[in-house]
Structure 1
Amino acid sequence: MRVGIFFGGQSREREISFAGGRTVYDNLNKSIFDAVPIFVDSRGHFILLDWQFIYKGTIRDFYPPVSYLPKSKYPVQIYAESLKNLEDEDWNNLISKVGKRISPENFHKYIDFAFLSLHGPYGEDGNIQGILDWYNIPYSGAGILASAIGINKISQKKLLKQAGFKVPKSEILSKADWQNQPKEQIFEYLKKSIGLPIVIKSPHQGSSIGVSIVKEDNFDAFATGIQKSFFIQEVNIDAWHKLSEEQKVREIAQLVDIREGIGLPALHKGKLIYEVDELFNILDNTASGETVKLEATNGESELLIESFIKGREFSCIVIQDENGNPIALPPTEIRKGSEVFDYRSKYLPGMSRKVTPIDAPIDVIESIRKQCSHLFKALQINVYARIDGFIDDTNNIYLNDPNTTSGMLPSSFFFHQAAEIGLNPSQFLSYIIRTSLAERLKSGKQHQNISNLLEGLDNKLNALQKEDQQKINVGVIMGGFSTERHISVESGRNIFEKLSSSEKYFPIPIFLSGTEEKHELHVLPVNIMLKDNADDIKEKVHKNERHPVLDQIIFECSNITAKYAANTIQKLQAIDYSDLNKMVDAVFIALHGRPGEDGAVQKELEKFNIPYNGSGISSSQTTINKFDTNEILKENGISVADHRLVYQDKWESDADAEIESIEAQLQYPLIAKPADDGCSSAVKKIKNREELKAFAGLMFRPQPAFITDLANTLKLKPTEEFPQKNFFLLEELVEKHNAKYFLEITGGLLTKFDEEGKVTYEIFEPSEALASGEVLSLEEKFLAGEGQNITPARYTTDERNYTKIAEQVKETLKRTAEILDIQGYARIDAFVRIFDDLTAETIIIEVNSLPGMTPATCIFHQTAINGYKPYDFIDQILTFGIERNNKKLSTHEA
């Protein structure tokens, strides 16, 4: 069945839609479905997307194509709606750079079924559903009516109240009233009508976009929240003029961010501003004492103002059984670090906690489920929905946001709760497609066509169980106990999901915890594997108390799981390395930092001749230590940053002497980082002696808790990971100096055996990494829609010189890999200086022998250029590991 995945779109949630669409594309079972990516751009064009662009980190990394971007002095990426004066033919030419423009009347030539991963206006409001209905394309999820209601929080509120559901006090504030009435009077009225705290919501947005909470009697905070929800921003010009050029770029990037800012084009004094440079000029040339008011072109005309519900927040996925009856899956409690479950908390692992089911008595959980199912029917939703709500201290339940399209990132509620009944993402998507077809059949349209699709799908589903028994078993080891454990889980789940939808491999998820002295291994059932982060998984592994409500829900869903969950691992099992030899044919180590990248796991696997991915023991032991890596590369003529280690014993015996020694070698600003951790954990730009002392004080602290004044000095976030170590690395800040061009890159590689059995290196085109802050952050590396990576890197503005420069860079990366005996695959981070004579100096920063393999990581952008889809890349990595192990065994036998 040809499944068209509609993703991207015109809303402010387009990046999460894009990332969710990629999840669907990768997880559709390849034995049953042919995934067809249909990207919807921010102008509403439908594009049959060339597959390699699916693996870009953000939409802005590939669309609009670089050649269509306006010339700008500033590294701020824009969306297609910021292009002006383009005729229809111009759009056709632009689109041809990334795929093929298609019209709805021709959808049937490319797809049999539409899977909708679109969010917000134009995707979740009935618009796309109406188009597909008109052209007789069956689609996933709810129909037009339920979608139209589900998009509008104001309409929802009225219907909820009429249907007898509890709702908080609320008022509607129109934009006209806000602009024309005394604003202080509006605030006073709302305080009396609703009371504090006040929740301000943009009614047509999701992902917590346009949501603010005003907790205190503070008019300025209230006015700021209202402006934010109307997508209006005012820039204080006096404050603007005091900013450095770098700070101005960051300020502009936030202003034009479509999630929390206004986006471009924006209105200023009745005129549309399309380009970043134009906005810069307006701000720079406005006189002191004035304010520049900017307004989004796609804002809101009304806001929903609600009373704050003091209680616990939950989210519940409701699905249908094959008779059309709603079944509420176990509701998830959201434990967040801030009042608002914001964009960052929703989509970055480790920033919040999802507790499933919610920690409450069975009767309360059943009441939540019953109310969610009732609302599902009341709004005439079908197939599935995500319903959010609160439960207060007296167990009153408030349902406040039914969503007819849920986020579909790997760690989203959508997959998280389905796992509790035993469905992995691939199986759950198969269920959604079949249930959607059955719903569309009820409409009386295309009856024969949909019946044929259903029959073919059922035949395929019945044949799946036999196929699984003939696959290669791969243990996917994830987790660990370093600061990189959450990203490791994201990588491991991504590997698991790519393999589970393949026709070749059967993945077995294995969680590693314990200590460096004793590794603890557990085979995970899918529901534990899809817990929110590594700490949640560890808690479940060591305290696996099954909530009794789960047995009831599993029983209710037994007909679903019997049909879709063939051969799924259902029980938690403690194992050791010797057990792996009987369970798996190979292992994929998805660990980052220690253990994994230090050779410790490899050493255990080699005892039992188990093939694995990545470099061997000796190379891993070298590259885990950034200092040793730098020293070896320096001895072999590779450029590295000047560096030194700082040890706890020397620092604590005489900090002043150590500081003087450091300052004699390295100049501020400098870079401080753990010598044996990655993922941007605790990497800081140190600008003075006070920050150096704070970094050392935190790194050498005696207890896990942060020392508050030191954390404040380094501007650490409350949820930020900062390890405790007895040594750390200092490096000079690599800068442009007299180079013509200067950029930060990250380059991937893959190894293979040639006909003579020698290791050969395939070096991919590196990505250019654009940091929004002082260093590349965790979010920019791994959070979908956040990082800005240009692949291939922009070494020069003259395309004719690109190859000459690129080959020099790739040769340095290859030499680095050869010197360090890297095998399998790796990621190498570096800075590149390019001079007038086109010589390139590549300064190696670090080598990752088990690089991050999360869905948004840029190594997949690079492999796509060379023709590898993520599954193909993973298959190559496993194939090399198996071949290497066979060569060792044959050599030993000889």
Structure 2
Amino acid sequence: MFVVLISTHNFFFQDNNSLLMIKIGVFFGGVSREREISFSGAKTVSQTLNRSLFEPVYILVDSLGKFIKINPVQFEHKAISHFYPTQESIPEEYDEFSPVYIETLENLTKEKHREIMEEVGTPISTENLSEHIDFALLMLHGTFAEDGMLQGLFEWLQIPYSGCGIFSSSFSIDKHLQQVVNEKLNLGDNRKYQMIRKEEWQKCDKKEFFEDLKSKLGLPIVIKAPYQGSSIGVSILKNDNLEEFIKAVNTSLFARQISKDEWTQLTMPQRKEYVNVLMSLEKGIGLPIIFEEKSLLGGNLGEQIIYSPLKLIEKLNDFFSYSEENATLFSFESEDMVLFEECLSGKEFSCGVIQNENLEVVALPPTEIITTTKVYDFEAKYLPNASQKRIPIDIPTDKIIEIQEKCKAIFQTFKFDACARIDGFYTDDNRIEIIDINTLPGMSPTSLIFRQAAEVGFSPTDFMTYLVYQSLNCRVHTAKRPYFFRNLFKKLESELLDSAYHKKEKVAIFFDETIFDEARKEYNSIASEGKQNPFCVFVKTENNQEVTLYKLPVSFLLKPNIEEVIQNLETELHPAISHTIEKAKELTDFFVKDFVSVPQKITLENLNDMTNDAVWLLRSPNNEDAAQSKLKRQLYEIGMAVVD
């Protein structure tokens, strides 16, 4: 008889027979244009991951695809480009330009690259990843992250990872394929569309193509980069203007054209500013760029890669010294195709979808996106005040539920795992049209997926725990060698089933309208420590002498501002939210420790039944000091332990 002993990753026992804390590799950065949004997501993890269950290991994926284990002190920076590559490693010729990423440095040897990596952390080879982590939490977006490539790498390395698998990821990054398949399966995509390849676009008669496109799709036209994240390389052409059309297509190809007149009219400082904008991954095309060489007679001499901004300026100066043609610049990470779609009119929505342990699907309350830009592009998605979000979307309840059912059907049909976000339109003629699928939704502090999950009771910390747990569960079901992951899943399941996890002491956080952000931070800080279960008490002062106390749902902490909190203190729960709470009950019973669906007026007697601990954040104007001082005194009188 043979006995086979299997040891995998870091699943070893300590002397006290308990498993080591699960090491969560938090992967962020990456190759894509959304790398700085990914950095924001990793920051969120650092503030919300339950540290009584998990040990975070932060891994920067640099834009050349290398893994670097970094200290979380780097999250004090506002952007990856502010600390990597280090200022000392950037040549002087870049001094007037930003951002500078590692792929922008010319003649970078392996030795120099490693030296730069070691200045910010510890480089980790791919084959050694499993020595550092037990699970990969993916905070990356776009190409080489959301397209199945990274998922395939982790499958090969037998490291469990968060979110969807290879097939659903690679399918969802392809906007054209989404349209074709959804249309054939009647899953809600009936938009007219057309494609053109980069090579065809360069050769075609632009005016003739534009006229043909208008006859098929009409105006406005949505113009997209079909293999990028949902908000990258997107334009809406409203006007019947050929020049604007060509510019929009170039935006989706991550190309720029500049004429001799445009360039020669710029002063040297203006030329530097032009290149500086060009270097931006959000507003420009980034460096390095590919410059199409032309001969004196206008013939094509091939392509040249240019890394340095000053060398690009020199190249353009030289080119326009002999050529009257436009200079064409392509991003090194350009698209090969452009997708054109008819523009839908109606209410735009985004709907998160999750699942329980039995793989039954729950659609969260769909959010209505109200933008000032007509399209939910990068700026509308990530810049403050560029868009408003309403939960749920303002349409009849039965139509909200219909959206949820449609999103559930897509999730199930394409075998998504753990979490996805599905975007669409409820059109003016009452159709539900699906426009995009995201397998790695953004995880910034007030992202849509967090806000929607909060409506059914998940705090950000609870949701991160759910994401790890359910992703592990999915890997156990889908991995080719599931026994590698089963022990880890059982370990986490045991921790969550432990009565101590749900019966931790509660602590009340007291705040008023002047310190909303501080209250959110305090809530996340306590929740992520995993030692107590926090809840927030909003102190509303009336007539400068009386206070009313409200125990708030966690969803109120994710509202965009305190004004929206105050406006909704007395509102009833929307029927669609009630419906979703019921559907999600099995999940929230397991993951959520203290759930209230609407603000609850409470008294000191109620409070005393809930907890004996309080955190006092109030720093009120003088005219409210008396009422709030009285409240604080009363808390002491009923035996509360109050921490300032």
Using structure 2 for the length normalisation, give the TM-score. 0.86
How far apart are residue 428 of structure 1 and its match? 1.0
Q: How does 1:519-538 map to 2 (within 5 A)?
A: 522-538=550-566
How far apart are residue 239 of structure 1 and its match? 4.5
How far apart are residue 346 of structure 1 and its match? 1.7
Q: How does 1:248-327 map to 2 (within 5 A)?
A: 249-268=272-291, 269=293, 270-282=303-315, 291-327=326-362
Given that 1:410 and 1:494 are in contact with CA atoms closer than 8 Å, whether structure 2 keeps it comes out as no
Instruction: Tell me the distance in 1 between the aligned counterparts of 2:140 and 2:207.
Output: 38
Match 2:431 to one of 379, 396, 404: 396
Map Cα deviations across residues 468-509 of structure 1 (whole Å, 9 max, x no partner).
6436543354x54xxxxxxx6555433322221114554333
Instruction: Tell me the distance in 1 between the aligned counterparts of 2:379 and 2:602.
Output: 35
What is the letter of the counterpart of residue 549 of structure 1? A
Q: How does 1:167-178 map to 2 (within 5 A)?
A: 167-178=190-201
How far apart are residue 395 of structure 1 and its match? 1.2
Query: Structure 2 vs 1, CA of residues 161 and 348 (structure 1 numbering), >3 Å: closer, same or farther?
Result: same
Instruction: Tell me the distance in 2 between the aligned counterparts of 1:189 and 1:512.
Output: 62
Partner of 2:402: 367
Instruction: Tell me the distance in 1 between the aligned counterparts of 2:184 and 2:240.
Output: 32
1:573 is aligned to 2:608: no
What is the letter of the counterpart of residue 81 of structure 1? E
Partner of 1:110: 132
Query: Structure 2 vs 1, CA of residues 185 and 433 (structure 1 numbering), >3 Å: closer, same or farther?
Result: same
| 3-state SS in 2 of match to 1:260 | coil
1:197 is aligned to 2:242: no
Provide the identity percentage. 35
How far apart are residue 284 of structure 1 and its match? 6.0
1:499 is aligned to 2:526: yes
Partner of 2:586: 559
Gaps of 5+ in 2: 1-21, 294-302, 635-640
Partner of 1:151: 173
| 3-state SS in 1 of match to 2:455 | helix
Partner of 1:642: none
Given that 2:137 and 2:161 are in contact with CA atoms closer than 8 Å, whether structure 1 keeps it comes out as yes
Partner of 1:353: 388
Q: How does 1:660-679 map to 2 (within 5 A)?
A: none
Instruction: Tell me the distance in 2 between the aligned counterparts of 1:600 and 1:50.
Output: 45
Instruction: Tell me the distance in 2 between the aligned counterparts of 1:610 and 1:213.
Output: 59
Match 1:540 to one of 568, 573, 580: 568
Partner of 1:231: 254
Given that 1:465 and 1:566 are in contact with CA atoms closer than 8 Å, whether structure 2 keeps it comes out as no
Given that 1:476 and 1:508 are in contact with CA atoms closer than 8 Å, whether structure 2 keeps it comes out as no
Partner of 2:67: 46
Instruction: Tell me the distance in 2 between the aligned counterparts of 1:185 and 1:466.
Output: 66
Instruction: Tell me the distance in 2 between the aligned counterparts of 1:411 and 1:170.
Output: 33
Gaps of 5+ in 1: 481-487, 590-595, 612-878, 886-894
Instruction: Tell me the distance in 1 between the aligned counterparts of 2:358 and 2:607.
Output: 42
Instruction: Tell me the distance in 1 between the aligned counterparts of 2:312 and 2:499.
Output: 56
Query: Structure 2 vs 1, CA of residues 507 and 196 (structure 1 numbering), >3 Å: closer, same or farther?
Result: same
How far apart are residue 80 of structure 1 and its match? 0.9
Instruction: Tell me the distance in 2 between the aligned counterparts of 1:508 and 1:327.
Output: 25
How far apart are residue 265 of structure 1 and its match? 0.5
What is the letter of the counterpart of residue 320 of structure 1? Q
1:29 is aligned to 2:54: no
Instruction: Tell me the distance in 2 between the aligned counterparts of 1:505 and 1:347.
Output: 32
Map Cα deviations across residues 615-668 of structure 1 (whole Å, 9 max, x no partner).
xxxxxxxxxxxxxxxxxxxxxxxxxxxxxxxxxxxxxxxxxxxxxxxxxxxxxx
How far apart are residue 144 of structure 1 and its match? 0.4
Instruction: Tell me the distance in 2 between the aligned counterparts of 1:111 and 1:236.
Output: 51
Instruction: Tell me the distance in 2 between the aligned counterparts of 1:356 and 1:583.
Output: 34
1:431 is aligned to 2:453: no
Query: Structure 2 vs 1, CA of residues 155 and 389 (structure 1 numbering), >3 Å: closer, same or farther?
Result: same
Q: How does 1:670-689 map to 2 (within 5 A)?
A: none
Partner of 1:587: 616
1:61 is aligned to 2:82: yes
Given that 2:544 and 2:627 are in contact with CA atoms closer than 8 Å, whether structure 1 keeps it comes out as no
How far apart are residue 533 of structure 1 and its match? 3.7
What is the letter of the counterpart of residue 212 of structure 1? S
How far apart are residue 599 of structure 1 and its match? 6.1
How far apart are residue 238 of structure 1 and its match? 4.2
1:129 is aligned to 2:154: no
Q: How does 1:372-387 map to 2 (within 5 A)?
A: 372-387=407-422
Query: Structure 2 vs 1, CA of residues 609 and 280 (structure 1 numbering), >3 Å: closer, same or farther?
Result: farther
Partner of 2:7: none
| 3-state SS in 2 of match to 1:507 | strand
What is the letter of the counterpart of residue 112 of structure 1? D
Match 2:576 to one of 545, 549, 567: 549
How far apart are residue 108 of structure 1 and its match? 1.6
Given that 2:252 and 2:338 are in contact with CA atoms closer than 8 Å, whether structure 1 keeps it comes out as yes
Instruction: Tell me the distance in 2 between the aligned counterparts of 1:160 and 1:209.
Output: 22
Using structure 1 for the length normalisation, give the TM-score. 0.63
Partner of 1:694: none
Instruction: Tell me the distance in 1 between the aligned counterparts of 2:137 and 2:46.
Output: 10
Match 1:460 to one of 495, 501, 505: 495
Higher relative contact order (CA 8 A, sep 6+): 2
Given that 2:254 and 2:330 are in contact with CA atoms closer than 8 Å, whether structure 1 keeps it comes out as yes
Partner of 2:638: none
What is the letter of the counterpart of residue 439 of structure 1? C
Partner of 1:88: 110
What is the letter of the counterpart of residue 67 of structure 1? E
Map Cα deviations across residues 507-535 of structure 1 (whole Å, 9 max, x no partner).
33355778996887643201222234444
Query: Structure 2 vs 1, CA of residues 283 and 135 (structure 1 numbering), >3 Å: closer, same or farther?
Result: same
Map Cα deviations across residues 549-589 of structure 1 (whole Å, 9 max, x no partner).
22221111111100100124444034799999987522235
Query: Structure 2 vs 1, CA of residues 259 and 516 (structure 1 numbering), >3 Å: closer, same or farther?
Result: farther
Match 2:244 to one of 221, 225, 228: 221
Instruction: Tell me the distance in 1 between the aligned counterparts of 2:422 and 2:615.
Output: 41
Partner of 1:724: none
Instruction: Tell me the distance in 1 between the aligned counterparts of 2:401 and 2:357.
Output: 21
How far apart are residue 440 of structure 1 and its match? 1.0
Query: Structure 2 vs 1, CA of residues 175 and 510 (structure 1 numbering), >3 Å: closer, same or farther?
Result: farther
The count of corresponding residues between Structure 1 and Structure 2 is 601
What is the letter of the counterpart of residue 545 of structure 1? E
How far apart are residue 609 of structure 1 and its match? 4.8
| 3-state SS in 2 of match to 1:96 | helix
1:212 is aligned to 2:235: yes
Given that 2:255 and 2:285 are in contact with CA atoms closer than 8 Å, whether structure 1 keeps it comes out as yes
| 3-state SS in 2 of match to 1:60 | helix
How far apart are residue 189 of structure 1 and its match? 0.6
How far apart are residue 246 of structure 1 and its match? 6.3
Q: CA RMSD in A?
A: 3.0
Query: Structure 2 vs 1, CA of residues 580 and 162 (structure 1 numbering), >3 Å: closer, same or farther?
Result: same
| 3-state SS in 2 of match to 1:585 | strand
Instruction: Tell me the distance in 2 between the aligned counterparts of 1:20 and 1:122.
Output: 17
Match 1:420 to one of 435, 450, 455: 455
| 3-state SS in 2 of match to 1:442 | helix
How far apart are residue 610 of structure 1 and its match? 7.3
Given that 1:313 and 1:388 are in contact with CA atoms closer than 8 Å, whether structure 2 keeps it comes out as yes
Query: Structure 2 vs 1, CA of residues 578 and 348 (structure 1 numbering), >3 Å: closer, same or farther?
Result: farther
Map Cα deviations across residues 594-613 of structure 1 (whole Å, 9 max, x no partner).
xx5866677764455579xx
Instruction: Tell me the distance in 2 between the aligned counterparts of 1:492 and 1:303.
Output: 45
